[in-house]
Structure 1
Amino acid sequence: MANVLIAGCGDIGCQLGSLLAQQNHTIYGIRRNIEEIPDSISPIQADLAFSLPELPDNIDYVFYIAAAGKYKDSAYYQAYVLGVKHTLEAIKNHNIKRVFFISSSSVFGQSEGEKVDEDSPTTDSNFSTRRLLEGEELILNSHFPSTIIRFGGIYGPGRTHLIDLVQAGKVHCMEDVWSNRIHSDDCVGMLAHLMNYDIKNPEKLESLYIGVDNQPTPSCEVYDWLAEQLCVPDVEHIEPKESSRQMRSNKRLSNARIRATGYEMIYPTYQDGYQAILDAME
């Protein structure tokens, strides 16, 4: 069994740590507020934006799952650049088998509905994607084996923003704009799967995976389906202007690479995932 460090033990990190602990791995979690960390994870109180304390011996795997507290450059720099530097410094003398860095599919800048896989080009056209790519480069250029996972839009329990907007009639959608998403349970499932895959198949993991469900879907289809399930009026459809189309993400992401490792989606489509949430809300 492995000793695992989760740097940035928030919602996804705590769920991941709990799952890995159930599989008899030993888990350590770094977080500013350790009161939120479940009992199955050994807490380390620290802020990733500052130098980290001495870590437990014999760490095998590291998951870097930080999140920027605000949508501004300084927050993204602290979360995805400075925090990465401090984490790499703290583990430099450990015999780490692999570092996993959780990134975002927003670094793919395609806006014309293109099909996108791990070999597709990225863009650093704004501060958020630039900082994410800086963090990825720091991880990939370290001397540790490393893997980046770029997740699509995450939804799930506690992440019901879209449901709330549709129910309140406060949302519209752009025609012919593709979207990509992943349930939080599959985020956790994918991360645990990749670590366990690496344990059984050393050095066979790729350096990059896209984390989305099996079904890229036009945004309007998702909104309309939610409105139907919630028994509320149809969502307004608008025709995007060329300028707004270029500013929005509009691409079809492929999860073929991670599925090729044997991962099976818990929620393969948005209908599966959102229906589970709606059932729980009732």
Structure 2
Amino acid sequence: MTKSIGILGCGWLGLPLAKKLIEKGYSVKGTTTSANKLDVLQKEGITPYQISLSEDGIQGNIGEFLSNIEILIINVPPKLRGKHTESFVEKMKFLVAEIKKSTVAYVIFVSSTAVYGNTEGEVSEDSPLEPATESGKQLVECEKILRNEESFKTTIIRFGGLIGPDRHPVTTLSGREHLSNGNHPINLIHLDDCIHMILTILEQSYWGEIFNGVYPHHPKKQVYYFEEAQKRGLPTPSYKTESSPKKGKIVLSKNFLDKNQSFTTPIIS
């Protein structure tokens, strides 16, 4: 098992992941787009690099970051909301060109269940990809680009909605009224399980695979967010009464569970 890993994007998931890898004896290089965060990474024992991807190329010493690592974890969001959107696909093409010149043999790409779009019913890793958002469409293209490369093996993880100590959808939904799709199921995963999945892939060498990362419990949104708001002492959200036959999607983490793996952190507070 290799002991040298690069994490492109040491943010909400990348930083605690890096800390856990260091705990397990890995040597970790990590990137941030912010000069202010270089010290934060260094203090955690991460070799820090300031690197940002853009449509025009890569700013920062990407060659040095990728040197002498065998595994790269790509954990950067598409950032396609708002006015200043850039093509995530173009950024990925620049990155792939650099990876091909490096020692990297294995890649984990953090994707999203947005690739399934508004599909109804149960979806697994084998389901057709029908992204409905620009972000989802570009993630599908990026997945293809990475998986088609023969100079390194890529494993894709499609995480559901992310929750953790300082992050939960209920904080933005709290007190809102007339919300829609209250009868749709939730597809969430806790930060600790995101890290657990990535560590399992590394330890078991699950390369060239696709995994959905969603905790296997799917209560209806209106029930779940009402209860989560109450537990936090927040104003509860309310949902419209809808007669739509649409029932939303349940994302199954079939591949992970089929390997006799399990999730460790419930989504119920």
TM-score by length of 1: 0.81
Question: Which of the residues 136, 150, 157 maps onto 2:158?
Answer: 150
Distance 1:122 1:146, change over 3 A: same
Structure 2: distance between partners of 1:88 and 1:122: 22
SS at match of 1:11: coil
Q: Please state if 1:55 is matched with 2:64.
A: yes
Structure 1: distance between partners of 2:52 and 2:182: 42
1:262 Cα deviation from its structure 2 partner: 4.4
What letter corresponds to residue 74 of structure 2 in structure 1? Answer: Y
SS at match of 1:150: strand
How much identity, in percent, do the aligned residues show?
24
Q: Hey, which of these two has a bigger chunk of helix by percent?
A: 1
1:175 Cα deviation from its structure 2 partner: 3.5
1:135 Cα deviation from its structure 2 partner: 1.1
Structure 1: distance between partners of 2:234 and 2:227: 10
Match of 2:11 in 1: 10
Match of 1:25 in 2: 26
Match of 2:50 in 1: 45
Match of 1:214 in 2: 216
Distance 1:89 1:41, change over 3 A: same
May I ask how many residue pairs the two structures share in their alignment?
A: 257
1:233 Cα deviation from its structure 2 partner: 6.2
Match of 2:195 in 1: 188
How big is each residue's C-alpha offset from its partner over 1:48-106, in whole Å with a ceiling of 9 and x where there is no partner? 223252225321101100014451486352xx323322222222133433111111101
1:184 Cα deviation from its structure 2 partner: 1.2
Structure 2: distance between partners of 1:257 and 1:235: 34
What letter corresponds to residue 254 of structure 1 in structure 2? Answer: L
- Tell me, which stretches of 5 or more residues in structure 2 are unaligned? none
1:46 Cα deviation from its structure 2 partner: 1.4
1:152 Cα deviation from its structure 2 partner: 0.3
Structure 2: distance between partners of 1:74 and 1:82: 15
Write out aligned runs for 1:230-269 (5 A). Answer: 230-231=232-233, 235-240=237-242, 242=244, 250-267=248-265, 269=266
| Cα RMSD after superposing both structures | 2.5
SS at match of 1:178: coil
Structure 1: distance between partners of 2:239 and 2:135: 28
Structure 2: distance between partners of 1:132 and 1:108: 11
Moved more, 119-128 or 147-156: 119-128
1:36 Cα deviation from its structure 2 partner: 3.9
Match of 2:184 in 1: 177
Q: Please state if 1:109 is matched with 2:117.
A: yes
What letter corresponds to residue 170 of structure 1 in structure 2? Answer: R
Structure 1: distance between partners of 2:83 and 2:73: 23
CA contact (8 A) 1:176 1:218 kept: yes
Q: Please state if 1:136 is matched with 2:143.
A: yes
CA contact (8 A) 1:7 1:87 kept: no
CA contact (8 A) 1:181 1:212 kept: yes
SS at match of 1:217: coil
What letter corresponds to residue 220 of structure 1 in structure 2? Answer: Q
Structure 2: distance between partners of 1:85 and 1:72: 23
Match of 2:227 in 1: 225
